[in-house]
Structures are given as C-alpha cells and as structure tokens.
Amino acid sequence: MKKLTVMALTVCAITAFGMSASAATKLNLSVPDAASSSIGVAAQEFADQLNEKSEGELEVKVYFDGSLYGGDATAAVTTMQDGGLDMLCLATSWYSSFDSSFNVIQIPYLFKSVDAEQAYLNDEASQPMWDAVEGMGVKFLAAWTRSFRMTTNNIRPITKPEDFEGIKLRTPGNQIYQVFFGDGCGANVTPMSFSEVYTALQTNTIDGQENPADVPFSASFYEVQKYISATNHIGEAWVVGMNPDKFASLSEEMQTLVLETAQEMQQWKKDYDEATDQSDIDFMIEKGMEYNELDDEGFAAFQEVSKSLYPKFQEIVNNQDLWDATIAFAEAN
C-alpha cells in the first residue's frame, strides 16, 4: 500500500512539473548584431532577467545576427507586426524607413553626451517617436541608449570633414547619413546590408564603415580595417518592441514585468557600454588598428558641417513640432 501511495505521489509530482513547464510562455527576442555586441549582450541580459523574475512563466530566447528575419532590418518590423517575431531590438535609424520623423535622433553632433541622449529618450520631447512606434502596430517597451558612432576605414585617419573625401563608406540606408557624409563631407556613401559589410571590406568593395565601437569589435572588422577614428558623429537609440497580440496574451502581472524590466535595462545598457567601449577599442588596437580622436578644431568643423545641413535634415525629418522640440532640448542639454 505504501508503495502504491509513493508511486501515486511521484506520478502526481511528475504530472504537476510537466504542466508547470508546459505552461511557460515562450518568446523569441531578435537582435541584428552578434551575441558579443553591446545589443547582443544587453538582449541576453534582458531575457535572463525576464526568465528569472517570472519564475518560469516566461521563457525568452535570444536570436542574434538578424537570423529570424534574414538579416533584413527593414523586414524585421513587418515580421514583428505579422507575428513572426515576438520581441525585437532595432535601431531608430531603421524605423525611419516607416516614419521619417525618426530621423531626428540621427542628426549628427546633436547631443553633447550619451547622458544628454538618455535624458532626451526619457523626456516628453521624444514621445512622438514612441507614439509612432505604437501607431505602426508595435508595442513600445523601452528605448535604450547607443554609444556614439565611430568610423573605421583603410585609407586614412579621420580628423576633419575633408578626410572623408572620396572614401567609399558603408552606411545604413538612411537619408541623414547620405546627406551628412556625402553632401557634407564628400564621401562616396554606399548603403549596404550589414551582413555584407565584412566581405565588402575584405575585397575593397568599400573602404570603411561607421558604427559604435562594439560593432567593429564583435564583427571582427579589425581583421580587414586599418584605422578607427572616434568621430562620435551620431548617437541614436535602440527601440525595444513587442508584437502587441503576444503582449496582450500575457497576464497583467507579466505585462508589468516585461515593461518595467525593459525600462530598467536602459540604465544597465548605458553602464555596460561605458564600461566596455574602451576595452573594445584597446583590443582592436592590439590587433593592429590605429586609433585617433578628434581635437577641438576637428570636432568643431564637423559640428559646423552638420549645422550647415540643418535645412536638408529638417526636410527629411518632416515633422516641425518634433524638430523644434528636439533641437531646443539638445541646445539646453
């Protein structure tokens, strides 16, 4: 009799465990870059926190290198809208493909520091962008900072705008980048899918690219690039979004958990970037890259180029109220 009781209890325990395990809501979280990149590490931390805090109710798995949407960042948003992606971290520059007002955060030399950029992301001045994300059929969870973008190339160090003259530079397919580097600095701007960049650099199809320091580090561009220049030209943001139907399917408690954790991760990622950007640069220097920073004169020259292009940038943004609020915020901070 005791054996039967023990067996019955064991079966019940196994059944209960199986039910508990199967009750977990599985979510995929997609990012465009490698696992070792800043956004890759932050996404994994976000997933780990959700898995731990939900005590088994959520099971979030991160997919790197845009693997769930074929590496096409513009397709990522529509894939999430259609339910093919549950959660997505994607740079604001790609959202500008759907709404030109997102270009406002890409204005070169707009923010004086990442602290100022973070303050903007949390200020009402930027709220129209997050409302627009919702209007696209994406549940907006949070906006995370991104380190300012640097330039790598095989031609020369970049110390002033004229140094870009004639350089075949890969950029995202974004008008702001094309106007600034092409019209303003004389580069031969070459939009290209990120998945193609390493090979294009290796074969000299392009001379260089621009991204925050963690990207050439995690993508091993130091193997095919000679110079890295801290041009620090653009500070943008990562939009953390979710399929609204998947979000609505969660319990109220889990919805709150997802939102709060995504927002708390903003500071985590900023702290992580500040702690690791220099070590990434040091590693690339050890691998043979030459590093330079802009002096005050060079930085001022780039700022002047950007400001001279404000009329064109304003047309691209095509949202007067957002433009005015953003410029006013940047000038005050």
pLDDT for the residue numbered 194? 85
pLDDT tens, N- to C-terminus, the chain (333 residues): 444 444 444 444 444 444 344 589 999 999 998 898 899 999 999 999 999 999 999 999 999 988 898 878 778 888 888 889 999 999 998 898 889 999 999 999 999 999 999 999 999 999 999 999 999 999 999 999 999 999 999 999 999 999 999 999 999 888 999 999 999 999 999 998 888 999 999 999 999 999 999 999 989 999 999 999 999 999 889 999 999 999 999 999 999 999 999 999 999 999 999 999 999 999 999 999 999 999 999 999 999 999 999 999 999 999 999 999 999 999 999
CA distances from 201 to 82, 166, 244 (A): 34, 15, 39
Please tell me the distance from the alpha carbon of residue 282 to that of residue 293, in angstroms, as a whole number. 13
Q: Looking at residue 94, what is its pLDDT?
A: 86
Residue 165, helix vs strand vs coil: coil
- How many whole angstroms separate alpha carbon 170 and alpha carbon 198? 11
Q: Tell me, what's the pLDDT at 245?
A: 96
In angstroms, the CA 211 to CA 228 distance is 10
Closest to 62 in 3D by CA, of 265, 308, 319 = 265
Structure tokens at 204: 């000299």
Cα–Cα distance, 59 to 192 (Å, whole number): 34
Answer whether 24-146+236-278 and 150-234+280-332 agree in fold.
Answer: yes
Phi, psi of 185 (to 5 degrees): -115, -5
pLDDT of residue 4: 43
Please choose, from the candidates 28, 24, 82, the residue with its C-alpha nearest in 3D space to the C-alpha of residue 56. 24
With 0-12 CB in 10 A as exposed, 13-18 as middle and 19+ as buried, what is 171? buried
Q: Which helix (H) or strand (E) holds 331?
A: helix 320-332
Sorted by where each begins, the domain ranges of the chain are 24-146+236-278, 150-234+280-332
Q: What is the pTM of this model?
A: 0.87
* 24-146+236-278 topology per CATH: D-Maltodextrin-Binding Protein; domain 2 (3.40.190)
The residue type found at 140 is: F
- Model confidence over 227-264: pLDDT tens digits? 999 999 998 899 999 999 999 999 999 999 999 999 99
Strands (E), 164-322: 168-171, 188-191, 208-211, 227-230, 237-242, 290-293
Q: What CATH topology corresponds to 150-234+280-332?
A: D-Maltodextrin-Binding Protein; domain 2 (3.40.190)
Please give the pLDDT value at position 93. 86
Within 10 A of 297 (CB to CB), how many other CB atoms are there? 9
